[in-house]
Structure 1
Amino acid sequence: MKQKIINEIVGEMLPFLNNAQIEKLQEILLHTLWKYDVTCSNGSDEEKKQNFIDLFLAAKRIEGCSEKSLKYYNSTIHAMLERLNKNVKEITTDDIRSYLTEYQSNKNSSRVTIDNIRRILSSFFSWLEDEDYILKSPVRRIHKVKTVSNIKETYSDETLELIRDNCNEIRDLALIDLLASTGMRIGELVLLNRNDINFYERECVVFGKGDKERVVYFDARAKIHLKNYLDSRTDDNNALFVTLKAPFNRITIGGIETRLRTLGKQLGLSKVHPHKFRRTLATMAIDKGMPIEQLQQLLGHRRIDTTLQYAMVKQSNVKIAHRKYIG
């Protein structure tokens, strides 16, 4: 029914628009009708709430969120809406504060857990605000929950070499080297195509959060292993990394996470996951003296505070710096 309405409207505008304008008009009309379905349909309140969640999750999926994260987002938001039992347009800041307080009390949750919930709800309501479903996010005035700052683990040089030496598939070796040398997000890696890679300059353009482009760079080892992997491929898929078995589909975030977790278990290593490569690169860059502003650009962070959370300077270097600059 929606497609029929769109076709009728576009048909009347065909003589006045070019192909690009027609595609844009179709996109706007489809989005408008989606909004109508969500806000004005005769469905139950529960169906309308789930429609909001589904649209939000669709947007996050496009940004590259893993299915595991999307499942967590869905359950977190659904639990909040079910407990408050109010239309999303009627939810207030006090409602969210009361919900978080009650949740922490009932489940004896840590501050980290409560802040994770706050962050997800903030993302959901900010999206509703950006899409004009609501006037203002009720989470905007709820600040980040203060938590104990823990030093997060990075890969040591020995661990990285151990992982590389035990890769039985040339694809996995190329994938690990690209993650380790670029520090790109896993969601950015799975979107890469073969023609995105500039082997001469050892660089590629990735699409980060907010659909922002940036250039990342890889080292000579990653170049060699990536070339070897691409030369070994017999499929015609344009994706940079594909599954090991036919029909050789583009690899997913979940597929990479599972692969690395399995490799870690085989080697007796705990917490082997894609994001750890990004944190390792940031720490190594700071440790070797890269200016924080350049690292911020490399990692694609909007705020330098985020970059500082990734970069953990070794205590031994703090001691050396103290002797150098202070005495």
Structure 2
Amino acid sequence: MDDLIERYIQYLKYERNASPHTVRNYQSDLVQFRNFLAGKEKDAAVDVHSVNALRIRAFLSHLFHMEEKKASIARKLAAMRAFFKFLARERLIAENPAASVSTPKLEKKLPRIMTEEEMNNFLDRVAEAAQGGEPAILRDRAILEMLYASGLRVSELAGLDLRSVNFGDSFVLVRGKGDKERIVPFGSKAKGALEAYLPARERLLRETRTGCAALFLNVHGQRLTTRSIDRILKRYVLTYSPDVNVKVSPHSLRHAFASHLLAEGADLRAIQEMLGHKSLATTQRYTQVSIKHLIDVYDRTHPKA
């Protein structure tokens, strides 16, 4: 089974162009399943043909007993389904044993996001701090403005090159999941923040002589990592909006981007396109619109209201 897991991981990397995060999680999940099947003898060989729906359910039961979160268990099952689907397609097994295993029912709960007022106040305070011209703050302000203005995934933001940005028409060319490209616009504040950052970026490149094409650079002139962007966001929220009672992450800003656009009347399919979602249902889960807002829209637009 070990060789087949490795073969599938290579397929994810080089044929599906899956993100490093996805590859890492799927590999970890499949190895965990393999170790469960091996039992106490971790080095024992596991015959993939011995896997059936009953053994998969036993693994899920084990995870529930270990008090794993339902979302984590659902992801592990998704990894197994995809793995065995791949093996069946390659005719290495007769059928997918995970296909008949039901996914645990997940709680439909979205994290609270920063309101428009909280978001604007936060970014305004960062903009004031950036007026001092400190290169790191100029860069960080551009990152924060772009996260909220574009709704990009943190991996997409980190992956941007300078040439990805069209300053004339204010949009970025993004390479998203599955290596698919899309165009995402950004606003005047994000544009201003980027333009203020660029001279500092050029100076850094001259000093480090790395010639890195990345839009956002670390102090060594190399591409900024997703983990660094996450740390930057959390540090700035703690510094400039300490009273905001929200668990903030780059992903929560993506939720805020979608929800605030919808609240202002944006078309859901346009938001879907900007977020790079395959399914409209996924976009709907991202958006959080208050009951009061829905009532206001009804009162304004319904002829009998």
- Residues 229-240 of structure 1 correspond to what in structure 2 (within 5 A)? 229-233=197-201, 234=203, 235=205, 236-240=211-215
Consecutive unaligned residues in structure 2, runs of 5 or more: 39-45, 130-135, 206-210
* Match status 1:261 vs 2:234: yes
Residue aligning to 2:132? none
| Distance apart, 1:206 and its partner CA | 0.7
The one-letter amino acid paired with 2:60 is L
Residue 81 of structure 1, aligned match among 28, 34, 50: 34
Residue aligning to 2:299? 323
- Residues 127-138 of structure 1 correspond to what in structure 2 (within 5 A)? 137-138=96-97
| Distance apart, 1:186 and its partner CA | 1.1
| Distance apart, 1:285 and its partner CA | 1.5
Distance, in Å, in 1 between the alignment partners of 2:73 and 2:152 is 28
Contact 2:216 2:224 survives alignment (8 Å): yes
TM-score scaled by structure 1? 0.74
- Residues 20-35 of structure 1 correspond to what in structure 2 (within 5 A)? none
Residues 321 and 157 of structure 1, relative CA distance in 2, 3 Å threshold: closer
Residue aligning to 1:178? 146
TM-score scaled by structure 2? 0.78
Residue aligning to 2:58? 98
Secondary structure at the aligned position of 1:169 is classed as: helix
Consecutive unaligned residues in structure 1, runs of 5 or more: 1-44
Residue aligning to 2:273? 297
Distance, in Å, in 2 between the alignment partners of 1:260 and 1:128 is 41
- Residues 120-199 of structure 1 correspond to what in structure 2 (within 5 A)? 120-126=79-85, 137-164=96-123, 165-166=125-126, 169-199=137-167
Residue aligning to 1:55? 10
Higher relative contact order (CA 8 A, sep 6+): 2
| Distance apart, 1:183 and its partner CA | 0.7
The one-letter amino acid paired with 1:96 is I
Residues 261 and 71 of structure 1, relative CA distance in 2, 3 Å threshold: farther
Give me the identity figure in percent.
Answer: 24
Secondary structure at the aligned position of 2:247 is classed as: coil
Distance, in Å, in 1 between the alignment partners of 2:15 and 2:63 is 25
Q: Quick check: 77-86 or 294-303, which moved more?
A: 77-86
| Distance apart, 1:161 and its partner CA | 3.5
1:86-120 per-residue CA deviation (whole Å, 9 max, x = no partner) reads 3345433333223212321x224443342233234
Contact 2:84 2:98 survives alignment (8 Å): yes
Question: How many equivalent residue pairs?
Answer: 277
Residue 314 of structure 1, aligned match among 275, 278, 290: 290
